[in-house]
Amino acid sequence: MISYTNERYNGDRYVTKHTKTVSDALHSLIKFEIGYGGTIQDITRERVVIKTEVMAAVDTVTFEGTEEEMALLVEAAGFAIMANPFGDQAPEAYKDKVVGDVMAFTKGLPLLVRMGSGIIMGNTVSKVVLLSMIGSQEHAEHLSSIRNDDLFAIMMLVRQDKVSIDDALMLMAA
């Protein structure tokens, strides 16, 4: 089991602690933390710390477990760092492109722009993490068109259940 600690600051400080299965922790890391634009703050073989800011809330989430339990989470965090090497320090040109994409998506509504830039960027990083963890150049074009939730299921079938990518895709199509 993975120890999960979330420290949230949004005017007040809230701390949530509980345990998650490896699958649930990995899903939380990829979908919610990376997916909402979080950046990796610390990574070891037994721990991943990620900071996510959405509107006025700042979450610092720590996942901890044995090296064996944490292997997939550490791998996902490593791919997230490679997919977004700038973290919070992205160059202005890069930020401008993300903000431009968000402006087009939200029709320029200021609140949506503020909320959306991290999420749109995070959703892209999440997809890169999932595609990297599946690791198939042969199926990359097809896989990149699949929703992230379904990609997560495919990745778990391939990585944890040792199902071939072709069989996983067939199962998802059924």
For the cut 70, the answer to whether the pLDDT of residue 100 exceeds it is no
Print the domain residue range for 100: 2-173
Grade residue 114 by pLDDT with cuts at 50, 70 and 90.
low
Into how many domains does the chain fold? 1
For the cut 90, the answer to whether the pLDDT of residue 87 exceeds it is no
| Long-range contact set of residues 43-46: C-beta below 8 Å, sequence gap at least 24 | 43/74, 43/77, 43/78, 43/81, 44/74, 45/70, 45/74, 46/70
pLDDT tens readout for residues 5-46: 999 998 899 999 999 999 999 999 999 999 888 989 999 999
**What confidence score (pLDDT) does residue 137 get?**
84
Per-position DSSP letters for 80-102, written without gaps between them: HHHHSTTGGG--HHHHHHHHHHH
